[in-house]
Amino acid sequence: MNTDEKYGKHGNDGQNEKHGNADNHISPGSHNSHISHSQPPSPDAHPIIPPRGDYQTLLSFQKAEVIYDITHRFAHKYLGKGDRTVDQMIQAARSGKQNILEGSKAGLTFKESEIKLTNVGRASLEELLADYRDYLRVRDHVIWDKDSKEAQFVRRLGRKTPHTFELYREYVETRPPEVIANIAICLIHQTNYLLDQQLRRLETDFLEQGGLRERMFQARLAHRNQQHKK
């Protein structure tokens, strides 16, 4: 058994793992703001509800779901019964996952809501990150350095898609709690990095495309122009 296998370095990215835009499927809701005067505008030129990928294709959501699965098992197994931290950690993990999901769905009509909910999910994962760090710190366990062999292993594992709990099941079920907590920390860093990228893209889309009202106005204007040319 090599070192990676022994410690179950579940590839986290330690801090900011640069997965690039291929890691997170973010459908930009493309619409053409420029309409040629020589051709009638396409019905899709100013879509009121832009096309989007399903939230399950978001790598940020996939990772957040894995974090929830790990946290649910970890909290019930390694934290004492009656410890309020059990519910707090599980709820923070669930909030991270659910707000990414709800934000993606809300983005079909209200990009402002998508930005807000994605931010809430990001904040929930940051709270969970602090809980895992607290668990390790008060027990005098080591928090993996982002460039450690363990963290690098988790980083490599974190690049696999689709990303599911099955990639981590063996480690979660066989490694000591300090290893599992570090794996979760690595995954949270990866997910937060992806969410930061996602939020920047959403903010850019909102500035360029506007919200629902702007899209409705542009769609009506394009329809009127088309009618006048007939």
Inside any domain, residue 1: no
Contact 183, 154 (CB under 8 A): yes
Whether residue 46 has pLDDT greater than 70: no
The least confident of 24-33, 43-52, 76-85, 107-116 is 24-33
For the chain, give the number of residues: 230
Inside any domain, residue 115: yes
What's the whole-number average pLDDT of the chain?
Answer: 76
Please report the pLDDT score of residue 150 as a whole number.
96
Nearest alpha-carbon partner for 66 in 186, 175, 174, 201: 186
| Cα dihedral 128→179→175→76 (10° resolution) | -20
Give the range of the structural domain holding residue 64, as residue numbers without chain letter.
9-15+51-229
Inside any domain, residue 37: no
Mean pLDDT of 56-75: 94
The whole-angstrom separation of Cα 15 and Cα 189 is 5
Query: In the chain, how many domains are there?
Result: 1
Mean pLDDT of 5-15: 41
Inside any domain, residue 22: no
Counting beta carbons within 10 angstroms of the beta carbon of residue 63, is it exposed (0 to 12), middle (13 to 18) or buried (19 or more)? Answer: buried
Inside any domain, residue 120: yes
Inside any domain, residue 21: no
Please name the residues in contact with 79: beta carbons below 8 A apart, sequence gap of 6 or more. Answer: 85, 86, 89, 135
The whole-angstrom separation of Cα 97 and Cα 118 is 10
Inside any domain, residue 178: yes
Whether residue 137 has pLDDT greater than 50: yes
Inside any domain, residue 105: yes
Confidence of residue 96 (pLDDT cuts 50, 70, 90): very high
Q: Is the pTM of this model over 0.85?
A: no
Q: How many C-beta neighbours within 10 Å does residue 105 have?
A: 15
Within 13 A of 28's CA, how many CA atoms are on the CB side?
12
Whether residue 36 has pLDDT greater than 60: no
